[in-house]
């Protein structure tokens, strides 16, 4: 029997990599998309990975319960991956209510749709290391107390706990993956790694002179999205649902990550980097460092791609894109 998966946020970075992985595992893959009258569906990430024609898209919205119920009824999924969110921390201060409606209440909508229309399905919730915020332990694991520092993180905390609660209340197979930052050439350009790699590529090609960043002392535990979607899938293959931290166990400053990108193209970082307070945040998460011992032991998961390789892949992809005339 072919397994069926339903992915929300399928047109995002993780959705695209997960769709590719599941298709490779023989799944029938369905995705929820918001269609807009002027631009249609933005499936450029699915195209980039060569899977756009294999994923079946359904019109829906995380804020619209009836659309989610209908999609679950029609697709009868074995597994539901809830990756849809307003996921950019900085804009969550500018759109806190929208962030709550989609990133928090949207999770309850998806869980309700599953409870109504496919209660036997397995559910994955995309939780986030941002929930640790003002860190309470030097390395964060599943038992570390949370201390969210942005409207985004507060919303993700609701999503995490409503997932745990539905598991405990209704016996649903619902798992929460607490994923640390994960990047790729498909990362949105507002996130710092991609902002750096596209910025460095522009400078290298003479399309820009400087790169403006905010707090470059912040430290993150960065992994590759391709590695991290494998952990999502593994969680739903377990007999019992549970929560797992997914991280590399290495933390790096924005400054050092940036230096990798400049070094790769043979440019001097100090000449081109400008610190711009406009990119400082009202409250900052200074450092994150994940302890993924549990995922390594129970899922047999480990990351394969280290930060240097990741950043170089992203710079190369941005150089190639710009040389083709895209995104100039
Ligand atoms: P986040 O961890 O989900 O917020 O991922 P981001 O990639 O957006 O930000 C990671 C860190 O980089 C945060 O601590 C930011 O404050 C820091 N940072 C410094 N300069 C910038 C910038 O220009 N853009 C972004 N997005 N982050 C920046």
Q: Where are the alpha helices (DSSP H) in 91-130?
A: 91-94, 96-99, 106-117
Residue among 180, 164, 177 at smallest CA distance from 129: 180
Q: What is the pLDDT of residue 279?
A: 97
Q: Whose CA is nearest to atom 13 of ligand 1?
A: 218
**What tokens were used for 273?**
């980097």
Residue 200's φ and ψ, nearest 5 degrees, are -65, -40
Ligand 1 centroid – CA 315 distance (Å): 18
Q: Given the CA of residue 213, which atom of ligand 1 is nearest to it?
A: 23
Q: What is the pLDDT of residue 37?
A: 79
Q: Given the CA of residue 218, which atom of ligand 1 is nearest to it?
A: 14
Q: What is the ipTM of this complex?
A: 0.99
**What tokens were used for 243?**
């929560």
Q: What is the pLDDT of residue 40?
A: 87
Q: Whose CA is nearest to atom 12 of ligand 1?
A: 192
Distance, CA of 134 to CA of 287 (rounded, Å): 8
Ligand 1 centroid – CA 252 distance (Å): 12
Q: Where are the alpha helices (DSSP H) in the chain?
A: 13-24, 44-48, 65-75, 91-94, 96-99, 106-117, 151-170, 192-204, 225-236, 254-264, 269-272, 293-294, 307-323
Ligand 1 centroid – CA 191 distance (Å): 6
Q: What is the pLDDT of residue 35?
A: 87
**What tokens were used for 24?**
């490779």
Bridge partners (DSSP) of residue 223 are 182
Q: Whose CA is nearest to atom 3 of ligand 1?
A: 89
Q: Whose CA is nearest to atom 28 of ligand 1?
A: 192
Distance of CA 244 to the CA centre of its chain: 15
Ligand 1 centroid – CA 92 distance (Å): 13
Bridge-based pairing of strands 4-8 and 79-82 is: parallel
**What residue has token string 């500018």?**
94
> Which amino acids bring their CB within 6 angstroms of ligand 1?
89-90, 130, 181, 190-192, 195, 213-216, 218, 220, 254, 279, 281, 284-285
Instruction: For residue 287, give the DSSP letter.
Output: B
Per-residue pLDDT of the chain (328 residues; tens, 9 = 90+): 899 999 999 999 999 999 999 999 999 999 999 988 787 899 999 999 999 999 999 999 999 999 999 999 999 999 999 999 999 999 999 999 999 999 999 999 999 999 999 999 999 999 999 999 999 999 999 999 999 999 999 999 999 999 999 999 999 999 999 999 999 999 999 999 999 999 999 999 999 999 999 999 999 999 999 999 999 999 999 999 999 999 999 999 999 999 999 999 999 999 999 999 999 999 999 999 999 999 999 999 999 999 999 999 999 999 999 999 987 7
Whether the Cβ atoms of residue 19 and residue 91 lie closer than 8 Å to each other: no
Instruction: For residue 266, give the DSSP letter.
Output: T
């Amino acid at each position: 029997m072919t397994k069926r998966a339903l992915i929300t946020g399928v047109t995002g970075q993780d959705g695209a990599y997960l769709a590719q992985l599941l298709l490779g595992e023989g799944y029938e893959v369905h995705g929820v998309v918001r269609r807009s009258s002027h631009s249609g569906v933005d499936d450029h990430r699915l195209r980039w990975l060569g899977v756009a024609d294999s994923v079946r898209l359904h019109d829906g919205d995380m804020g619209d319960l009836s659309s989610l119920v209908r999609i679950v009824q029609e697709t009868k999924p074995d597994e539901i991956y809830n990756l849809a969110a307003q996921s950019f921390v900085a804009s969550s201060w500018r759109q806190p209510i929208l962030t709550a409606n989609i990133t928090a209440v949207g999770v309850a909508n998806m869980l309700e749709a599953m409870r109504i229309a496919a209660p036997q399905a397995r559910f994955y919730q995309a939780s986030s290391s941002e929930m640790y915020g003002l860190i309470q332990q030097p390395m964060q694991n599943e038992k570390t107390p949370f201390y969210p520092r942005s409207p985004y993180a507060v919303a993700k905390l609701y999503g995490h706990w409503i997932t745990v609660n539905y598991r405990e209340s209704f016996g649903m197979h619902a798992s929460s993956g607490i994923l640390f930052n994960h990047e790729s050439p498909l990362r949105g350009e507002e996130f710092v790694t991609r902002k750096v790699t596209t910025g460095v590529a522009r400078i290298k090609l003479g399309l820009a002179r400087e790169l403006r960043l905010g707090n470059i002392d912040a430290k993150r535990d960065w992994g590759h999205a391709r590695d991290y979607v494998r952990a999502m899938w593994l969680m739903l293959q377990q007999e019992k649902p549970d929560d797992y931290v997914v991280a590399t166990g290495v933390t790096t400053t924005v400054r050092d990550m940036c230096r990798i990108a400049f070094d790769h193209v043979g440019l001097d970082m100090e000449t081109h980097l400008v610190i711009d307070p406009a990119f400082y945040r009202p409250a900052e998460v200074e450092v994150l460092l994940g302890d993924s011992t549990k995922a390594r032991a129970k899922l047999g998961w480990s990351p394969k791609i280290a930060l240097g390789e990741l950043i170089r892949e992203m710079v190369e992809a941005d150089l190639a894109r710009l040389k083709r005339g895209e995104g100039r």
